[in-house]
Amino acid sequence: MGTPIRRDTMINLRNMLQRNTSWNTFDTSEDVANINTLLFKYGLAVSDCINSPTCVTYVISLNVDSKIKTLLNLEKNFAIAVNDNNCRVYQDGNRLCIEKRGADNTIRLGDLYIDKFAGSDKPVMMLGKDNTGANRFCDLSKAPHVLVGGTTGSGKSMFLHSLLLSLLMNHDDDMNYIIIDPKGTEFTWYQLLNNCKVIGNAQSAIYVLNWLCEEMDRRYSEIAKAGCRDIDSFTAKGNRMVRTVCVIDELADLMITAPKDCEQYIVRIAQKARACGIHLIIATQRPTVKVVTGLIKANIPTRVALKTVSAIDSRIILDRSGAEKLNGKGDMLFLANGSFEPIRIQAPLVTEDEMKAIPYMCATKDRKAAAI
């Protein structure tokens, strides 16, 4: 278990992180009138409008005799009604939901940094705001691995930064970080941390994955000798073992370098490493079957699909279409471990100042004096 964040640290981070101080709203009256006109002959109408910072959801309550297949087939008609070719139409229980781009609001890290997150002793990551405007978080210990896919410009690297900074803000010194950065420029600021290793060479990354497999076996041997089942029960007895997070910014580069070894190591870690506190966060802008193989996908239950080029790419990540209709810039579908339906979430914008300042604060251990 991590150490809860100190109150002075919480105050300093609150003051440092940027926030959105004014939220724009979207006028839904014209869309509602058009949808009601379309649904008039079916005896249905819009029952609720959910206006989130970046998305609008029109909710239609269904009757027992509502022909849901017929309504879902009206997707193109709904697109005309709401004047958005990328609108999503889906069933949510006894409701039909129509999602479209809403107001142009930017979500910041400071908007998500609330007491519930700051006081958590678990490895919680900030995801963003969902289509109801509620803050969404993910407990990495329950994830326990994350697959992220999205085309160029979809906000993939920015989302990885928000996940890493979330963990650093609560667990700067009781977690180890390994970042595989093929570009060599995206995660340079994290090199300031003593407990973080940034790797830019693909061949070296394969060796690191092999080392993680060996580390996993070593940890399980220690846990077994202590008569424990997992890392939480092991540390509860006063033993020392920290979680390790391995972030892979582009899986395709590794699969090109050594496809068999890369798949073997990732699958082995994903299958077994949860209980010993080793977690993978894997991202790719090429979600093809040659990169995200069936074995890799089957062992990574938590998935994030940012905007994809096609419905085929969306199905490779989420096993369903929908991500091809997202707006980009952090707009994503999040499928949690054990969930059957993805949630639409807008990820926060992370500024370069925040990317520099938070690792610097953690590295210097002097959060009060650190400034952007």
Alpha-carbon gap, residue 63 to 219, rounded angstroms: 55
| 367 or 103, which is more confident | 103
Q: Contact 293/147 with Cβ under 8 angstroms?
A: no
Looking at the predicted structure, is the pLDDT value of residue 205 above 90? yes
**What pLDDT does residue 20 have?**
78
Looking at residue 196, its amino acid is C
Angle between helices 7-16 and 352-364 (to 10 degrees): 160
Query: What superfamily would CATH give domain 109-364?
Result: P-loop containing nucleotide triphosphate hydrolases (3.40.50.300)
Backbone angles phi, psi at 334, to 5 degrees: -110, 120
Residue 225 sits at φ, ψ, to 5 deg, of -60, -30
Question: What totals of helices (H) and strands (E) does the chain contain, helices first?
Answer: 14, 14
Residue with the bigger pLDDT between 210 and 104: it is 210
pLDDT tens profile 329-354:
899 999 999 888 899 999 999 988 88
User: Percentage of the chain surpassing pLDDT 70?
Assistant: 92
pLDDT of the residue at 366:
43
- With bands split at pLDDT 50, 70 and 90, how would you rate the model's confidence at 23? confident
Q: In the chain, which segments carry CATH 3.40.50.300?
A: 109-364
- The C-alpha atoms of residue 78 and residue 31 are separated, in whole angstroms, by 9
Amino acid of residue 31? D
Residue 303: the pLDDT is 96
Query: Where do the H-state alpha helices sit in the chain?
Result: 7-16, 29-39, 68-72, 75-82, 109-112, 115-118, 156-170, 202-225, 231-236, 251-257, 259-272, 294-298, 311-318, 352-364
- CA–CA–CA angle 302, 125, 369 (5° rounding): 160
Residues 345, 331: Cα–Cα separation, whole Å: 6
pLDDT tens per residue across span 57-76: 999 999 888 888 999 999 99
Q: How many CB atoms are closer than 10 A to CB 241?
A: 16
Assess contact for 260 and 198: CB atoms under 8 A. no
3-state class (DSSP) for residue 12: helix
What is the β-pairing status of strands 196-199 and 175-180? parallel
pTM of whole model > 0.75? yes
Share of the chain above pLDDT 90, in %: 60
Between residues 274 and 20, the one the model is more confident about:
274
**Given this model, what pLDDT does residue 185 score?**
83
pLDDT in tens, 281-300: 999 998 989 999 999 999 99
Residue at 307: amino acid letter: K
Tokens of 162: 């928000």
Does the pLDDT value for residue 198 go beyond 90? yes
pLDDT at 119: 66
Task: List CB contacts of 46: < 8 A, sequence separation 6 or more.
Answer: 32, 35, 36, 39, 58, 59, 60
Residue 32 has pLDDT above 80, yes or no: yes
Bridge partner residues of 171 (DSSP): none
Higher pLDDT, 184 or 163: 163
The per-residue pLDDT for range 120-163, each reduced to its tens digit, is 778 899 999 998 889 999 999 999 999 999 998 899 999 999 99
Question: Pick the residue with more confidence: 344 or 369?
Answer: 344
Residues of the chain with CATH 3.30.980.40: 29-101
| Alpha carbon 120 to chain centroid, angstroms | 18
Instruction: Tell me whether the omega of the peptide bond preceding residue 144 falls within 30 degrees of 0, making it cis.
Output: yes
CATH T-level topology, domain 29-101: Threonyl-tRNA Synthetase; Chain A, domain 2 (3.30.980)
- pLDDT for the residue numbered 116: 67
pLDDT tens column, 221-248:
999 999 999 999 999 998 999 999 999 9
Write the DSSP string, 29-80.
HHHHHHHHHHHGGGT--EEEEEE-SSEEEEEEEPPTT--HHHHHTTHHHHHH
Specify the 3-state DSSP secondary structure of 15: helix
In angstroms, the CA 69 to CA 99 distance is 18
